Chain A
Amino acid sequence: MTTYILKRFLQVIPVFLGATLLVYFLVFSLPGDPIAALFGDRPVNEAVAAQLRKQYNLDQPFWIQYLLYLKSIFTFDLGLDFSGRPIAAVLGEVFPVTARLAVMALIFEGFFGILFGLIAGLRKGKIFDATVLVASLIVIGIPIFVLGFVLQFFIGVQLGWAKPTVSAGASVQDLILPAIVLGLGSFAYVLRLTRTSVLENMNADYVRTATAKGLSRSRVVRVHILRNSLIPVITFLGADLGALMGGAIVTEGIFNIPGVGQRLYRAVLSGEGPTVVSIVTVLVLIYVVSNLLVDLLYAWLDPRIRYDS
């Protein structure tokens, strides 16, 4: 097991180098001069622009810029963004906020998705099943920003049950509505995935055996049906954590959450290479780690899966 985990962590190194190189190159190739854009509508003051390019290494060719950036990573000093702040500090501000939001969304979609999916599967064809299926179709069909604005308007503005935007500190309480909006789409998928999986397992031999053994209904459902049905759902949830963090930009925009998506969007628009690459790299690492966790969970859920050769 340890060897396996170690191997997986070694794989992170090429992924990390590849991702930083690719993203750095993409930002480098963006059209337009980021320093000129700092001057806005006003004429560019060449003397000042030259000084700024030097400060941000923008006067160097691509490879030198990239190597300088790599060097800054290994010395744990990511350099400064355009507002003169250490990029490391910026990361420290935005990631906790988005992580809180994404984990809340994950808990929401995981818990309710599995619960509703299980009930729907167990009562196939009944009214609950039908209602939930139609509702999930609607949720999947409506784009997230529509859901966001509608919920924000009715729950936040009309009913006043929650604040329409997140206030300073982005507390758990403020993030509930955004987390539901963010998790709604995946919630519908989790629900449908669980339902299908439960239906399949209900007809499996071991379930029939367990029932024939005289085990209680609840034990059959919990240990034999649910646990075995969770494998595809866990795969989905694991991959979704990364997607939620990177994809929270729309939700963050609607509820004015100062998270990863907003900062990344601003950095892309202003062409701040190091900021973009730093944020994306952390996102990539989160993907890699969450996928590793999913693989380890498999072994726990299904003892037939073993990672040691």
Chain B
Amino acid sequence: MRFTRTSKALGMAAIAALALTGCGAGGGSNDGASGGDTNRVIIVDGSEPQRPLMPADTNEVGGGKIIDMVFAGLVSYDPSGKPVNEMAESIEAPDGQNYTIKIKSGEKFTNGEAITAKTFVDAWNFGAAAKNAQLSSSFFESIKGYDEVNAEGSTADTMSGLKVVDDTTFTVELGQPESDWPLRLGYSAFAPVPAGALADPKGFGETPVGNGPYKLADGGWQHNVQIQLVPNPDYDGPRKPKNGGVTFKIFQNDDTAYQDLLSNSLDVLQTIPTSALANFESDLGDRTINKPYAGNQTIAIPEYLPEWSGEAGKLRRQAISMAINRDEITKVIFNGARQPAKDFTAPVLDGYSDSIPGHENLEFNETKAKDLWKQADAIQKWDANSTFSIAYNADKGGHQAWVEAVVNQIKNTLGIKAEGKPYPTFKEARNDATAGTLTGSIRAGWQADYPSLYNFLGPIYKTGAGSNDARYANPAFDEAISKGLGASSVSEGNQAMNKAQETLLTDLPAIPLWYQVSQGGWSDNVTNVDYGWNGVPLYYQITGK
């Protein structure tokens, strides 16, 4: 008896609740009706930051987006990727090695603490020291004294290259001349942090206090749910907010976020999910964007594998490159969400060129590919039983479709065995790549941390560089790169970088496939949506309709 009555009551509750949903729906958003609304709180998609929100400890997109908005460094990047002064008054170095940095006076954190030259020097020293275990500490590697503070077990905490001159001036001495060093100063690792952050980084990372265009709302970070940012009224730089705040709703997958966008519960979706690529333009009409950003996709072929070493290896890599029909794959598999690569960098960068000698090695050419493969066979016979494999991680990124397409094109053009080799997780794929135990090629990609050609070349292809999965070593390339770094200006440096790319385009330690393109969309409620050089929406520009 009692049992029945209870269930009846529960059932009533359920029905009542169902009725509530029915009534409550549809009344979502009336506030977007007026035009050019700069008070609207923009709701955008985000992901849960992996680490506490400390500028030098954040190296992934979820936290990176927040850091970029809450902090302002010496410079920030304009939509085309050119650095513009934010906290800096001037950054000068006649020799490319000894920099004198003047900062604007009177700048403050949102807690009222003044920002001086010492603030920057302390923040950078903290970020670089190994004992503080900051994930982005390598960004300070050019500064003199970095090797001492970043040695394993080191307790040193100041770099000899940093010196405070007065309240608004400090000097930076680099280990060697680097013409493109100022370009990287807009990266979040170089942001200033208040003194409290250095004393308690974990606590600070929960409720960061910065100097950027936005600040964290009170209790604004609800973990795994959302991060609410409100404009910082004291901010007076190039990224002045044109809305009433930005709320990052945390999504576990893009498909779900897309449903939210369709029902206008989400204002901006940074990346359209693969499943919606075919129909998002008809779903959203003109509320979409299709813009390249500073990222690319390549296949790295390790030279430590005997069949890919020496002259024969080089010819084979050229043959593989020419066997891939990039136009077809970018159209059929990606629906235009990628652009065929013409070099090793990305088209949004200052100094980019699509006609560097050797770029023809990246064009589909069936007869030449076969011919090159034959030439290689004459030097060293390809074992008919061996398989050309492309390793990729199957946990995220949706790589399987294009890997299979590339594999099939190689099979059909060259008549060799080829296959995709999935790793269950990204972590495992990286393990083999960094340990140098790959048994075939691996998909590699680069997304620039700062808009510079060198960032796409030095860290990946220099002899002994950290991300040199192919273990490529060519003194001619190394020399061309250091010549570029020693150049007296960024543009002169760019020319030297492109010269260095000529060597890469012949050697092909990795085969460039395509450039990344951001494809995003927005709801009926917002306007003025544009993306920056790095494929991240310029959130501060977005307004309500």
State the A residues within 8 Å of B (CB): 31-34, 36-48, 50-52, 55, 80, 82-85, 90, 93-94, 104, 107-108, 110-112, 114-115, 149, 152-153, 156-157, 160-165, 167-169, 172-173, 176-177, 222-223, 226-227, 230, 252-256, 258, 262-263, 265-266, 269-271
Contact = CB atoms under 8 A, between A and B. Distances in A.
B51 A38 contact: yes
B213 to A, nearest CB: 23
Nearest to B468: A43
Contact of A32 (B3, B132, B226, B428): B428
Interface in B340-367: none
A164 B21 contact: no
Nearest to B228: A168
A83 B152 contact: no
Contacts of A160: 25-26, 263
Interface residues of B, number: 74
A47 B152 contact: yes
B153 A50 contact: yes
A265 B222 CA distance: 19
Contact of B11 (A34, A46, A111, A153): A111
Interface stretch (B90-98, B251-259, B474-482): B251-259
B21 A177 contact: yes
A62 B427 CA distance: 20
Nearest to A230: B3
Contact of A33 (B152, B222, B431): B431
A163 B18 contact: no
Given A93-B224, A172-B17, A161 B25 contact: yes
Contacts of B182: none
A32 B51 contact: no
Given A83-B52, A85-B206, A256 B150 contact: no
Contacts of A50: 130, 152-153
B395 interface: yes
12 contacts: A32-B427, A38-B50, A40-B60, A44-B434, A45-B130, A47-B152, A83-B49, A84-B51, A85-B223, A110-B7, A111-B10, A160-B263
B427 A37 contact: yes
Given A41-B447, A173-B21, A223-B1, 10 more contacts: A32-B431, A36-B434, A38-B51, A43-B467, A50-B152, A83-B49, A156-B263, A163-B265, A165-B251, A256-B256
Contacts of A36: 427, 430-431, 434
Contacts of B150: 45, 47-48
B21 A263 contact: no
B137 A253 contact: no
A32 B225 contact: no
B157 interface: no
B431 A48 contact: no
Contacts of A255: 256
Nearest to B17: A176
Contacts of B427: 31-34, 36-37, 269-271
B268 to A, nearest CB: 15
Contacts of B401: none
B40 to A, nearest CB: 17
Contacts of A271: 427
A126 to B, nearest CB: 23
B459 interface: yes
A296 to B, nearest CB: 14
Contact of B425 (A32, A55, A258): A32
A127 B350 CA distance: 73
A293 to B, nearest CB: 14
B76 interface: no
Nearest to A50: B152
Contacts of A152: 259
Nearest to B283: A157
Interface string B424-439: 1111101100100000
B3 A227 contact: yes
Q: Nearest 4 A-B pairs (CB), nearest first? A: A43-B466, A32-B427, A47-B130, A37-B427
Contact of B134 (A34, A48, A164): A48
B23 to A, nearest CB: 10
Contacts of A110: 7
A168 B265 contact: no
A45 B137 contact: yes
B138 interface: yes
Contact of B259 (A38, A156, A176, A266): A156
A130 to B, nearest CB: 24
Nearest to A170: B225
B151 interface: yes
